[in-house]
Amino acid sequence: MKERLQAIRNACFEKLEQAQSLDVLNEIRVEFLGKKGALTEVLKSMKDVAPEERPKVGALVNDARTAIENRLEEVKQALERKLSELRMAEETIDVTLPAKRMTEGHRHVNNIALAEVERFFVGMGYEIVDGPEVEEDYYNFEALNIPANHPAKDEQDTFYINGKILLRTQTSSVQARIMEKGKLPLRILSPGRVYRADEVDATHSPCFHQVEGLVVDDNITFADLKGTLAEFAKEMFGAETKVKFRPHHFPFTEPSAEMDVSCFKCGGKGCRFCKGSGWIEILGCGMVHPRVLTMSGIDPEKYTGFAFGVGLERIALLKYEIDDLRLLYENDLRFLKQF
C-alpha cells in the first residue's frame, strides 16, 4: 500500500513538473484528487485492508493527499507568477522610443479669405445666411430681373438639372429668397458655391465661390454702398487702398458698378500685378433694381437697397499672390501648407 501511494505521489509530481497552464493543473487535480481520482480509488480499496491496519493506511492516504495538495498550490502560485511576468513583458512601453510627429491641419486659403470677409461684415451688423446650390430658375434668374431670353441663361453658362431647376450660377440667388420673407430692414452676407459650365484654366473653374451682400432699408443710397465697400477694401487690402467705381451693367441693379481697388503691390503706379493700370477689379455692385424689390414684395417707393457680389477665389488669389486658380483645388499639401 505504501508503495502504491508513493507511486501515485510520484506520478502526480512528475505531471505537475510539466504543467504549463492553469487548465492543465486543474486536470491534474481531478485526475489525482477527484471523485474518480487515483487517491479515491485507494480509499475505496480500504475494505480489503485488515481492520487493525486501517488507521495506519488511512493516515498514509491523508499524508499523500496533503502532499499533493501542497504541491499543487505551490506549482499554481509559481505558474501564476510566471504568466503575469510574461504578460508584463509583452505590455512594456518603451518610453525612450521617438514619438510620432503629429501634423496639424489648418484652414484652406479660400476659407481664410472668407473668414476675413465675414469678420468685416459681421462687425458691420450683417447676418450670414445660406442658400441652396441646387436652385430654381426663378431665384437664380427670373427674380433677379434676368428675363427668359437673357444670354446668361444660355445653357453654355448654366448647368441645368431640368427646365426649372439648375445649379446656381451666382449667390445673388439668395437675394429674392431672403427678401420675400418680408423681414426688413435687411443686412445679409451669403457666401457659397456657384457653378458655371466653364472650361478649367488659370482663372476659370466650373465650381467656385462667391460672397453676396444685400442691404435693404429706408434711405439707403449709393453713398452707403460706396462707404461700406471702401472700408471693406481697406480691411482686405490695407489702409492705403483706394477704390474706384466704374459704371457697369447688371440686370438686378440700377445703377450698377464694378469696384476696382488701387493695386496693393505698386500702390497704383502700375506694375506687372495690375497689368500696368494701377487698379484691380474686385467686385460687382449696385442699387437693387426697383423691379427686383417689387417682385419680392418690397415697395421700392418706401425702401431702397444695395447689393454686391465678390468672387472669393479672386480675393484669395490676390491677397496671397497666387497666379493659378487650379492650385486652390488640387489639394497639394506642399501648396496648401504655405498659408
Interface with ligand DAH by CB under 6 A: which residues? 170, 172, 212, 250, 253, 284-286, 307-309
Contact at 8 Å (CB) between 1 and 49? yes
- Least distance (Å) between residue 287 CB and ligand DAH: 8
Rounded CA separation 111/44 (Å): 89
By beta-carbon proximity to ligand DAH, the closer residue of 145 and 253 is 253
Contact at 8 Å (CB) between 179 and 297? yes
By beta-carbon proximity to ligand DAH, the closer residue of 268 and 284 is 284
By beta-carbon proximity to ligand DAH, the closer residue of 274 and 292 is 292
By beta-carbon proximity to ligand DAH, the closer residue of 124 and 271 is 124
By beta-carbon proximity to ligand DAH, the closer residue of 195 and 250 is 250
- Least distance (Å) between residue 264 CB and ligand DAH: 22
- Least distance (Å) between residue 193 CB and ligand DAH: 13
- Least distance (Å) between residue 339 CB and ligand DAH: 25
Strand runs labelled E in 146-224: 165-167, 186-195, 207-217
H helix or E strand, kind and range, residue 110: helix 109-123
* Of 164, 176, 177, 169, residue with least CA distance to 136: 164
Question: Nearest 5 degrees, angle CA 252-CA 255-CA 257?
Answer: 90
By beta-carbon proximity to ligand DAH, the closer residue of 145 and 241 is 145
Q: What are phi and psi of 152, to 5 degrees?
A: -65, -20
- Least distance (Å) between residue 212 CB and ligand DAH: 6
Contact at 8 Å (CB) between 54 and 62? no
CB closest to ligand DAH, residue no: 309
By beta-carbon proximity to ligand DAH, the closer residue of 307 and 328 is 307
Q: What is the DSSP letter of 202?
A: S
Burial bucket for residue 55 (CB in 10 Å: 0-12, 13-18, 19+): exposed
With the C-alpha atoms ordered 59, 65, 71, 76, is the resulting torsion angle positive or negative? negative
Question: What is the grid cell recorded at 30?
Answer: 481531478
Residue whose cell numbers read 508503495: 3
- Least distance (Å) between residue 285 CB and ligand DAH: 5
By beta-carbon proximity to ligand DAH, the closer residue of 172 and 205 is 172
- Least distance (Å) between residue 165 CB and ligand DAH: 19
By beta-carbon proximity to ligand DAH, the closer residue of 31 and 281 is 281
Rg of the chain taking only CA atoms, in angstroms: 43
- Least distance (Å) between residue 106 CB and ligand DAH: 29
- Number of helices and strands in the chain (H, E): 11, 9
Q: How many Cα atoms are found within 13 Å in the side-chain-facing hemisphere of 86?
A: 8
- Least distance (Å) between residue 214 CB and ligand DAH: 7
Contact at 8 Å (CB) between 338 and 256? no
Spacing of C-alpha 285 from chain mean position: 33
